[in-house]
Chain A
Amino acid sequence: KAGVTQTPRYLIKTRGQQVTLSCSPISGHRSVSWYQQTPGQGLQFLFEYFSETQRNKGNFPGRFSGRQFSNSRSEMNVSTLELGDSALYLCASSLAGLLVNEQFFGPGTRLTVL
């Protein structure tokens, strides 16, 4: 089975722009979670999607949003980028949810905001 894939792997944007990141889960997995990883803040939960519905959202501003499609692929969007949004964005998929089954992480998208 193919693992979790994320595109693009690297991205450079400037302040004020918006960005869309994509995550393709392992086949059959219906849950996709998104995380932000920075040296200063560590790993922080953004949100989880299950069957096209957002189940929970972490403590991030409304500039961070996401969605999930019927094939379980998920996208994350960040609008009005700030320098502090520079981070590694990881997604993870699981069969039925991040508390139910093991999560498998993707390789991440490294976003640099200039």
Chain B
Amino acid sequence: GENVEQHPSTLSVQEGDSAVIKCTYSDSASNYFPWYKQELGKRPQLIIDIRSNVGEKKDQRIAVTLNKTAKHFSLHITETQPEDSAVYFCAAGSNNNDMRFGAGTRLTVKP
């Protein structure tokens, strides 16, 4: 089936630095790209999403960029804080109401 590749699988940054997580997808019908944050033992929570008619979206310290031609999208977190430490999942949704997830990135922000 169609897959979503996510890199890196683990990422460690110093507090205050930026973190970037990248995802690629193969289904050209994908038109919705959410990012979820899952803290240890908790449920995933949507942190930002982008639709295929937009190239970039920003919400305070979090931004997502989408390159439809290259079929990749990225999550950018600036001025990272220890509470940003979690597993982040990207996903790609297509018109047939399917949702494919990346394998996740474990982000550790060191104080």
Residues of A within 8 A of B (CB): 33, 42-45, 48, 55-56, 58-59, 90, 97-99, 102-108
Residue of B nearest to A102 (CB): B46
Query: Binary interface profile of B, 72-111, with partner A (CB < 8 Å = 1, else 0)?
Result: 0000000000000000010101111111111110000000
For B101, list chain A residues within 8 Å (CB).
42-45
Decide: A58 and B44 in contact? CB cutoff 8 A. no
New contact pairs (20) apart from A103-B34, A106-B43, CB-CB < 8 Å: A42-B103, A43-B89, A43-B101, A43-B104, A44-B101, A45-B98, A45-B99, A45-B100, A56-B97, A58-B98, A90-B44, A98-B93, A98-B99, A99-B93, A99-B94, A99-B95, A99-B99, A104-B46, A105-B45, A107-B43
Residue of B nearest to A50 (CB): B97
Decide: B44 and A42 in contact? CB cutoff 8 A. no
Chain B residues touching A, majority SS:
strand
Residues of B within 8 A of A (CB): 1, 31-32, 34, 43-46, 49, 89, 91, 93-104
B72 to chain A, nearest CB (A): 18
For A44, list chain B residues within 8 Å (CB).
101
